[in-house]
Amino acid sequence: METSPRPNSPPPPHPGTPLSRRPGYVVALLTLTSFLVEMGLTLNEVPSVSVVTALICSRYYNYEVPAEQLTEQECTQNTQVVEEVNRFLMINTIISSILTLLVALAFAAAADVYGRKRIFSFCILGMLLSNALSVLFARLVPSVSVESIWWANVAVLLGGGFRVAEALVFTMITDVADERWRTTWFQIAICGILLAEILGSLLSGFLLGESLWLPMYLGLVFLAAGQTLAFFIPETLHMRHLEQHRQHSPLATPPTSLSTHIRSIWHSIKTAIPSLPHSGILPLLPAASLVIPLGTTAMFTMIQALPTRYATTFAQSSQYEALRGGTNLAVLLIILPLLSYHLRHHPILRRDALLNLGSSLFLVAGMLVIAAAPNLAAALVGLVLFSLGAGVPALVRSIIAQVVDRAHWGALFGVLAVLEQLGGLVFSLVMAALLQRGLAEGGGGGSLGYPFWFAFAVLVIVCACSWFARPRAPAGMMGEEDAVELTRARGPGGGVERGADGVDSAASRE
């Protein structure tokens, strides 16, 4: 007896669709590759700060004491050393950001000509080489200066680095995912990254107790494994909703040269931007482009500040990173799916918009608590609250994909990648300067909260913009029933109607 598929299950692939063209297969490979790459980067993150701190501290003592023999307390409680480490990391971030900005849009355009897979592989290779060179130069100190580590950033010119790789993962999923399941696929990929953050943080914290260098060596192994697996990911450039395109229109032929395509991208950007106010998503662009770099910079600053602010260790900082990753994973695997199920009778666009509004409130509340935290316990509460807003990036990208014409997806996601990098550069500069000011004032708990007050102010603006957004999908991009339902769901002036109890539906937040 034949049974119909469950309404909440993804539709089965067409019987004639090869395995390599099925969305689940592509997303699984992307998720596993992202997991391996993130494991490598996470294993390197806290240990690299610890290594740089030890090297600069050893230089402070004229290398009379090897870096491996210095205790963390000797280094992290020395204000001069911490200030020097902060300056070093700030300059390192500036160099990396500028180099990435030089090539990000070009590689995003190249992905539309030469294929997503090829550029994605280049991104991973660039990150692998950058991390390998960092370890090499660090091992050569004091034969070379600590500042020679900055030269390792040159490798990000190959592929554009993490931001371009991240944008390509979202773009490749968008290429193959049905609109109804796009957010789910996004969340699966993000869950793979978060799982890697948890395991990588716990593992690096454990290994740091054994050796400064072992976590960094293991990180290179994971990056190399991710690079290898990337070769098995199918090319998705010509797989955009294949069944739908077979029925409605042929696939467009890509431009014949990169220069032609860059001009095409620029034309697409100029065409897409004027249409953004009409689609109602212009206020969502800050959330789409600033939340990830701001959150990343804030968490990295927190790792730097915790040992001085609350007298903890770098190994403990790794465990707190795992706490953040675990909360993020719970949000994406349990909380968001349950709320999505609760809101299943709403149109997809309205459901994602409501979840995004609720999630953004947790980002603001969490950063407020972190900034004002008088002790470590309060800071960890703020960290958990902040992590409850983990769904914002995927939700905002899903909203954008629903209201922006498919012809502009590549250009818009490329622009978002560039804006992310610009935001990361600005946030790194400002938060590093504020941390430096806090250290100059004595490094007390209150003064070391300056960077997080800045992050709180930015998130308030981002949250306010999200609440003013009124996303509207063009009539041709959703069914008539969804269009009618979405219209009914809006109050006067296009706002979300309040329920009988006077509370926004967004109160059932993410």
| Mean pLDDT value across residues 425-438 | 89
The tally of CA atoms less than 13 A away on the side-chain side of residue 301 is: 34
Domain assignment present for residue 36? The answer is yes
> Is 249 among the domain residues?
no
| Averaged pLDDT for residues 417-426 | 82
| Residue 15 neighbours by CB distance under 10 Å | 5
- The residues facing 352 across adjacent strands are none
Is residue 50 assigned to a domain?
yes
CA-nearest of 164, 156, 159, 166 to 99 is 156
Region 292-309 average pLDDT = 87
CA nearest neighbour of 391 among 422, 424, 362? 362
At 21 the pLDDT is: 58
Using the predicted structure, report yes or no on whether residue 104 has a pLDDT greater than 50. Answer: yes
Report pLDDT for 122. Answer: 92
Coil/strand/helix, residue 496:
strand
Q: What is the H or E stretch that residue 57 is in? A: helix 23-60
Tell me what pLDDT residue 139 has: 92
Whether residue 451 lies inside any domain: the answer is: yes
pTM: 0.72
Residue 39: give the domain boundaries.
20-240+257-493
Instruction: Of 81-95, 196-210, 244-258, 477-491, give the lowest mean pLDDT range.
Output: 477-491
**Phi, then psi, of 443 in degrees rounded to 5:** 75, 20
Once rounded to an integer, what is the mean pLDDT over residues 337-360?
87
The more confident residue out of 25 and 220 is 220
- Check residues 131 and 510 and name the one with the higher pLDDT: 131
pLDDT band at 408 (very low <50, low <70, confident <90, very high): low
Task: Tell me which residue has tokens 């431009």.
Answer: 255
Task: Name the one residue in this structure whose structure tokens are 């609350």.
Answer: 310
**What's the pLDDT tens digit per position in 464-499?**
988 887 766 655 544 433 433 333 333 333 333 333
Band the pLDDT of 226: cuts 50, 70, 90.
very high
What letter represents residue 87's amino acid? R
pLDDT band of 124, cuts 50, 70, 90 = very high
Structural tokens at position 476: 């041709």
Cis amide bond preceding 142, omega within 30: yes
**DSSP state letters, 270-315:** HHHHHHHHHHT-GGGHHHHHHHHHHHHHHHHHHHHHHHHHH---HH
Contact 380, 308 (CB under 8 A): no
pLDDT reading at 215 higher than 90: yes
Q: Please compute the mean of the pLDDT values over residues 42-64 and round it to a whole number.
A: 88
Output the average pLDDT for the chain: 78
What pLDDT score was predicted for residue 496?
34
- pLDDT of 13 above 90: no
The Cα–Cα gap between 286 and 46 comes to 28
Q: Which of 153, 166, 92, 152 is nearest to 123 (CA)?
A: 166
**272/183 Cα distance (integer angstroms):** 22
pLDDT of 98 = 87
Query: What is the total count of domains within the chain?
Result: 1
Q: What's the pLDDT band for 94 if we cut at 50, 70, 90?
A: confident
pLDDT above 50 (res 502): no
- Residue 427 CA to residue 438 CA, distance in Å, equals 16
pLDDT in tens, 235-285: 887 765 444 444 443 333 444 455 665 565 555 555 555 555 555 677 788
pLDDT band of residue 409 (cuts 50, 70, 90) is: low
- The highest-confidence range among 62-66, 190-194, 424-428, by mean pLDDT, is 424-428
**What is the sign, positive or negative, of the torsion defined by CA atoms of 90, 93, 99, 104?**
negative
Quickly count: other Cβ atoms within 10 Å of residue 444's Cβ.
12
Percent of residues, the chain, with pLDDT higher than 90: 25
In a domain, 471, yes or no: yes
Q: What pLDDT shows up at residue 10?
A: 47
Place of tokens 């250290």: 439
Lowest-pLDDT range of 246-260, 391-405, 456-470 = 246-260
Take residue 324 and report the two structure tokens written for it: 């953040």
Residue 231 and residue 121 in contact, taking contact as beta carbons nearer than 8 Å: yes
Q: What is the pLDDT, as a whole number, of residue 498?
A: 33
Nearest to 466 by CA among 287, 294, 292: 287
Dist CA 62 CA 65 (whole Å): 8
24-33, 178-187, 276-285, 366-375: the lowest-pLDDT one: 276-285
Task: Collapse the DSSP code of 490 into the 3-class scheme (helix H, G, I; strand E, B; otherwise coil) and give the result.
Answer: strand
End-to-end CA distance of the chain: 40
The pLDDT assigned to 44 comes to 92
Q: Is residue 10 part of a domain?
A: no
CATH number, domain of 444, equals: 1.20.1250.20
Q: DSSP for 81-121, please give it.
A: HHHHHHHHHHHHHHHHHHHHHHHHHHHHHHHTTT-HHHHHH
Strands (DSSP E) along 450-495, which ranges? none
- Look at residue 11 and tell me if it is in a domain: no
Q: How far apart are CA 421 and CA 96, in angstroms?
A: 10
Which is higher by pLDDT, 109 or 445?
109
Task: Identify whether 488 is part of a domain.
Answer: yes
Rg over CA atoms, the chain = 23
